[in-house]
Structure 1
Amino acid sequence: MIGTYFIVFSGCGVVVVNVLYGGTVTFPGVCVTWGLIVMVMIYSTGHISGAHFNPAVTVTFAIFRRFPWYQVPLYIGAQFAGSLLASLTLRLMFKVTPEAFFGTTPADSPARALVAEIIISFLLMFVISRVATDNRAVIDEL
């Protein structure tokens, strides 16, 4: 829950700051923030939760039998709670009008956007599952 909280808080927070304050962060800054917060959370909480900050990661690990299925609902519940609390924190911190929208909309049809999201998510889960579960990826300590 803590890892998901800080990822959503930092990642979405930097987008809000960028939009509300006239693009002061810039697109590369937003990208670096997302990457750094994921890295920091992996290093700081990965030993506790296995770095399960996203339900897709939890389900993927369960599919590859590296995580028990009976714990999947608890982890997904914690991830949901962390993201919800982070969103509520940002809502309290920033004065956002109802007309404001910080997300993106598909440039093409929603069906094509969904297919692209599935392919990109598959790629991410493929990389995570191969790096984290392949015994050949283990590096011996010095």
Structure 2
Amino acid sequence: MKKTIYGECFSEAIGTFLFVLIGIASVAILVASGTVVSYWELAIVWGLSVSLGVFVAGYVSGGHINPAVTISLACWRKFPRNKVAPYILAQISGAFIAALVSYCLFQSTIVSFESANEIVRGTEGGLATAGIFATFPGENVGLLNAFFVEFLITMILMLVIFVVTDTNNLTAPTGGLAALVIGITVALCGLAFGPLTGFAMNPARDFGPRLFTLIAGWGTAALGSDFYGLIVPIFGPILGAIFAGVIYFKLITPYYPKK
């Protein structure tokens, strides 16, 4: 059956919903419930949830589940540009709904945590729980530094995506293993660099839930200082994913053996 843009967008929304829902839930458990979850466990949960999202959406839509990936593929892999905006809208919608569902599930836990720690939403202190949904820089991490981190780790992710999905690469994994490698890459980047920025690596994963926090009581404080949330986790990943194409198609694939 011929694929339709509607089916592809639903697939992107569902895949994004799935991985963001699981990821946010793991952070909510760590922050608000008192459950002991180590940082490496958190990174692995996010990485494997990305693999699940790619598995679910991959056959119908390609499993981008990330605007940075969609934009990079449009730049380098001839992905139809008329599909870019619908894909991104679907991805952001899926992430927003994931944040909403997560909040409904953990609302009492989050409210109890805020009450116990005298956290007031809409203030700087409210970022303690806004951080369950969206990413923020680590202590003493400046805007430019954070931007470069998101640029770099998304560049690494996109480079791996190019490698594992290129049929001209004879060492590329087969049988759905590409999705697992992509998820492992997210987990590794999270382990190595996550404390600096929260490893968004995906504008939809961050903007959808951040949009939810704006209307769920945290207000504009959830944007972070210097409008961090509208700059770093959006443009850092997009530019990093585009630059990955320069490395792969200009510096690596020209040296592939000729078939």
Shift of residue 84 of structure 1?
0.6
Shift of residue 3 of structure 1?
0.4
Shift of residue 29 of structure 1?
2.1
Equivalent pairs: percent with the same residue?
31
Aligned to 1:19: 31
Residues 28-83 of structure 1: CA deviation (Å, up to 9, x unaligned): 22122112212222223211110110001101111113411110011001001001
- Rounded to whole Å, the distance in 2 between the matches of 1:133 and 1:66 is 13
Is contact 1:62-1:72 (8 Å) kept? yes
Aligned to 2:149: 116
Is contact 1:60-1:129 (8 Å) kept? no
Q: Residues 139 and 123 of structure 1: is their aligned pair in 2 closer, same or farther, counting only changes over 3 Å? A: closer
TM normalised by structure 2 equals: 0.50
Match of 2:137 among 88, 101, 105: 105
Alignment of 1:31-50 (within 5 A): 31-50=43-62
- Rounded to whole Å, the distance in 1 between the matches of 2:174 and 2:14 is 29
Residues 1-38 of structure 1: CA deviation (Å, up to 9, x unaligned): 00000111001110111111224232222122112212
The gaps in structure 2 that reach 5 residues or longer are 1-12, 115-120, 176-259
- Structure with higher Rg: it is 2
Count of matched residue positions in the alignment of Structure 1 and Structure 2: 141
Match of 1:7 among 15, 19, 42: 19
Letter aligned with residue 40 of structure 2: P
Q: Which moved further from structure 2: 132-141 or 50-59?
A: 132-141
- Rounded to whole Å, the distance in 2 between the matches of 1:73 and 1:136 is 29
Is contact 1:9-1:87 (8 Å) kept? yes
Shift of residue 139 of structure 1?
6.1
The gaps in structure 1 that reach 5 residues or longer are none
TM normalised by structure 1 equals: 0.86
Aligned to 2:65: 53
Is contact 2:137-2:146 (8 Å) kept? no
